[in-house]
Amino acid sequence: MKIALVGYGKMGQEVASVIKEAGVHEIVSISYKSQTDALDTKGIALSDVAIDFTAPSVAVDNITHIAKLGKNIVVGTTGWYDQIPHIKKIVSENNIGLLYGQNFSIGANIFFHIIAHASKLFYKFGGYDVYGLEVHHAGKKDSPSGTAKKIADTIMEHFPSKKRLQNSSLDRQIEQNELHFASIRGGRNPGYHEVIFDSAADSIALSHSAHSRRGFAQGAIMAAEFIEKKKGLHTFDELFRT
């Protein structure tokens, strides 16, 4: 498979490293090696799938241009999901396949399933409150993380008394139907997410900690293999449905 990398920051470089080490796929284009570079449309036209790890401010434009080239896309960039209805239309009009995900770590996606099951159980037996936190490196451009939003949505789906996500600081008492999910930015942490179920009797903490970006890169390549021949809008969690 011929792959075009869109974005060559830390994640783009990690994806390139994994591809080169495996020797299975070929990189035919790299866009935005520096911030002054443009989208390499000529190179992308030679690819089978483009993998985007850029920034929320350019992700939608990138998707639009790549879709017009008729190329399938994996989007690892988060922070643009308010544009999903618009992107779904672009994907349909250009007859391509696009896969996006809040987190491409295989372990993190298994963690989502664990959180879903745990939320069902703690809600069923009652007496527990739930909250969460996430920590990322100082260079992360969105807050809360896409992964935190995914976890929060999963909790609220299976813990019905939590109906609203509260991710800002509070200067008041939190309401019972609010789910508080705090964000911390600083240092070099590639990603840490924790969910706590707390009662008068005990407290149970479930967490996922990324050791490096390698797992995310491996997942992005897996996503490219999945979307290569498909059409329409897809999410990474489709790979984990049983």
Residue-by-residue DSSP string for the chain: -EEEEE--SHHHHHHHHHHHHH-SSEEEEEE-SSTTPPP-HHHHTT-SEEEE-S-HHHHHHHHHHHHHTT-EEEE---S-GGGHHHHHHHHHHTT-EEEE-S---HHHHHHHHHHHHHHHHHHHH---EEEEEEEE-TT--SSS-HHHHHHHHHHHHHSTT--EEE-S--SSPPPTTEEEEEEEE-TT---EEEEEEE-SS-EEEEEEE-SSSHHHHHHHHHHHHHHTT--EEEEGGGGG--
Per annotation, catalytic residue among 25, 33, 88, 140: 140
Q: Please name every residue paired with 29 in a beta bridge, in sequence order, or none if there are none.
A: 4
Identify whether 88 is a catalytic site residue. Answer: no
What whole-number distance in Å separates Cα of residue 84 and Cα of residue 157?
20
Identify whether 124 is a catalytic site residue. Answer: no
Phi, psi (deg, nearest 5) at residue 239: -70, -15
Per annotation, catalytic residue among 88, 113, 120, 136: 136
Nearest alpha carbon to residue 67 among 235, 236, 227, 222:
227
**Residues labelled as active-site residues:** 136, 140
